[in-house]
Structure 1
Amino acid sequence: MSSSATTAGTMTSLFGDTSLTEAERAIAEMRAGRPVVIAQAGRLFLAASAEYADAGRLAALDELTGGTLQLVLTPARLRALGRPEWSEPMALPAAGLGSARIEALSARQASGEEARTRAGTALPDELAAPHAAGAAALQLATLALMLPAVLVGPLAPAALTLPALTVRAEAITRYGEDRATHVEIVSRAPVPLLTARNCEFVVFRGGEGLREQVAVVVGAPDPARPVLVRLHSACLTGDLFGSLRCDCGDQLRTTVATMAQAGGGVLLYLDQEGRGNGIANKMRAYRLQSDGLDTYEADETLGFDLDARRFDFAAAMLRQLGYERVVLMTNNPEKIAALTRAGLQVSGVERLYGRRGADNIRYLAAKRDRAGHFLDLDALDHHAPASCG
């Protein structure tokens, strides 16, 4: 083997796929508030999150793009602004908007009243197609758990020496696809729980953002038989603090107790807060819900679609644990479909109920009516565990 081939092999073993590295670094740069350069179709575009668009940054970005800077918004945000005819991201010139207008258009400080009246956020009659890198910039913002609203413009010739990270558009797309299925076990240990003393926590690293995902193996489920499985997206407010706005905490505690009574099961605790939008955006959505919007209307106002979660890596976790056939504890038809698409056999489904109350009745109804969850609201009080807060 030649020395060059040996060196290439060594570099690959140390640094892996460099296109994934590009995307990971770009995610970190965007979260830190710094613009990145996106290379697409032989051109360079400057891209930044609209979350950081104060007057000074806006002026600097506009100068570096020669006055061609655009504010790019998602179809969901456009619907919330009264323009439902667009099914693709659209843009409007950022020059002259000002930071306060961009704040309103990107929903950085949106209120429910603003969402209902659209006061001060009317869009021009003619929106433009975004610059070529607009879609990649939106995807990068989503991966970074930022608001899906970005400022994008072609890099002016005088700014080619800008000390910004450059990432290829295709690297961003590939990162989202690759990390959706790549997970690996990094640690495991027995952890006795209040309602299930025989438990093992298995920690995986992976999924979008290389976050840590946890499988709680309750009892000793037999891989030769369909195993009880729950895909539970992390909910800080409900799981830990007992929020009355949702039913997540009830579902979590019911799952563990049910699996223990059944002799075993696997709870996948997935780092997908706020239906995949992150805790900051979840709190933005909660503010909107406090002003009268339902959970899906709130997400749409912020620019998000119905559900940003992916469950590809959940299937990969189950396979690494040795489970191919499952009885899924869920009310969500998309979880059933996702595991089926991933090649697992969903042998059965068990409904999972939490309590119903004045604070979460609209949330539960929205899940039933907007996302097709299998929920009988009249049955919730009967099924909810009395010990859950």
Structure 2
Amino acid sequence: MASIVEGLGFAPDAGRLSMERAMAEVRSARAVVIASGDARIVVVAAEAFDPVLAGVLAEAGATDAALVLPAPRLNKMGAPRVQPGAVVLPHLDAARVAHLSLKPDARIDAPVAPATPAQAAALELLAQALVLPAAVTCAVPEEKAAGLLTVTVDDILSFRAAEVASLAIVGRAPVPLEGAPETEFVVFRGGEGLRDQVAIIVGRPDLSRPVAVRLHSACLTGDLFGSLKCDCGDQLRDTVRRMAEADGGILLYLDQEGRGNGISNKMRAYALQAQGYDTYDADAALGFDLDQRRFDFAAAMLRQLGVSAVRVFTNNPQKIEALKAAGLNVVADQRVLGRPTAENVRYLASKRDRAGHYIDFEALAARAPD
């Protein structure tokens, strides 16, 4: 008798399914197995590693334990690397794992080996799951790991591209906005792991000509609550207003909180900023590069909406280059300025000086409140 899957004529992508489940497992503080050829490692997110998990793994006969950290974190800890590394763990000590993975002033106190392909893939899995990029890995006898979800390195590394390829519109409706009454929200499923993305079509842009476009990464603190630490909310509302007053446009509202790090890691970075770190040093102390975001799926959203040429509203050269690399014709780019505040001026200067954002402080000063 045919299975229900065969009966429905549905051929699931086993690799994507394994990856989706693995993301849910690590977010729920459970271990998974990552397979690379004949090699198998058990992986636990360091942020979830506690004495109970340490005891379970020790009782299962775990060997070759290591804490896998990305290069930015290792560099901050005095062990310069350009690739991830694996800090040897002679004992499964939860307190030590927490210290090495989270404390901003922690220093490396054990040998660091190059990360294996499976260990490097573990960090990509954690990044997709939006948890701290630090993984406890070990070898466990096969019979002891029975029942744990297994995902392969190839499953992990191919997941982002598969999500872009599967991008699809799942809902759309008119949503009148203040100052932009003729506006439609179009919801896409796909792009970033297990999250929906939204295109806001303002007015009636002429798709036969270059369309005004902004790629706006979600910022809960700035967009919704008016945080003074950034200029995101100002940029969001200013872009919609300008589009409404001109020939319309499309704003992509992308679920990429904290430059792609997720809201929990963004708050960890904010806590470090309160101690004096700038925005990029805070991210590096947590193990993140300057910017974790990718924009290939944003270009795919625009193409599905019939857009081939754009005038992009951004200060970020990475977004411009990403749209070009994805095959869109970027005919012009325009700046989007918020209001300078005592709380965000250092942040804006860091984006200009360290990430090459096009931010004119004289123009900003002209927008400062009296």
Q: 2:198 aligns with which of 211, 214, 219?
A: 214
TM-score (norm 2): 0.95
Q: 2:364 aligns with which of 365, 369, 380?
A: 380
Alpha-carbon distance between aligned partners in 2 of 1:328 and 1:136, rounded to the nearest angstrom: 33
Match of 1:187 in 2: 171
Match of 1:28 in 2: 24
Alpha-carbon distance between aligned partners in 2 of 1:206 and 1:158, rounded to the nearest angstrom: 36
Match of 1:230 in 2: 214
Alpha-carbon distance between aligned partners in 2 of 1:176 and 1:90, rounded to the nearest angstrom: 23
What code does the residue aligned with 1:146 have? Answer: V
What code does the residue aligned with 2:88 have? Answer: P
Q: Deviations over 1:356-377 (max 9, x none)?
A: 1110011000100110000012
Report the alpha carbon displacement of residue 67 of structure 1 after superposing the two structures with TM. 2.7
Q: Deviations over 1:90-130 (max 9, x none)?
A: 112223362222111111xx4xxxx3xx2xx2213631233
Alpha-carbon distance between aligned partners in 2 of 1:17 and 1:102, rounded to the nearest angstrom: 35
What code does the residue aligned with 1:200 have? Answer: E
Shift in alpha-carbon separation, 1:186–1:72, aligned structure 2, 3 A: same
What code does the residue aligned with 1:318 have? Answer: L
Shift in alpha-carbon separation, 1:142–1:272, aligned structure 2, 3 A: same
Gaps of 5+ in 1: none
Alpha-carbon distance between aligned partners in 2 of 1:30 and 1:278, rounded to the nearest angstrom: 15
Q: 2:14 aligns with which of 18, 21, 37?
A: 18
Match of 2:135 in 1: 150
Alpha-carbon distance between aligned partners in 1 of 2:165 and 2:329, rounded to the nearest angstrom: 18
**SS of residue paired to 2:312:** strand
Gaps of 5+ in 2: none
* Structure 1 residue 100 corresponds to structure 2 residue 95: yes
Report the alpha carbon displacement of residue 194 of structure 1 after superposing the two structures with TM. 0.5
- What is the correspondence of 1:181-330 to structure 2 with a 5 Å cutoff? 181-330=165-314
Shift in alpha-carbon separation, 1:10–1:296, aligned structure 2, 3 A: farther
Shift in alpha-carbon separation, 1:87–1:340, aligned structure 2, 3 A: same
TM-score (norm 1): 0.91
Q: Deviations over 1:215-240 (max 9, x none)?
A: 00000000111010000000000000
**SS of residue paired to 1:68:** strand
Is the 1:46–1:65 Cα contact (8 Å) retained in structure 2?
Answer: no
* Structure 1 residue 41 corresponds to structure 2 residue 31: no
Percent of residue pairs identical: 51
Is the 1:131–1:152 Cα contact (8 Å) retained in structure 2?
Answer: no
Alpha-carbon distance between aligned partners in 1 of 2:60 and 2:97, rounded to the nearest angstrom: 18
Please say which of residues 180-189 and 198-207 is displaced more in the overlay. Answer: 180-189
Is the 2:63–2:139 Cα contact (8 Å) retained in structure 1?
Answer: no
Match of 1:61 in 2: 57
Q: Deviations over 1:5-55 (max 9, x none)?
A: x998656x5353111001000110111111001111112211110011111
Match of 2:72 in 1: 76
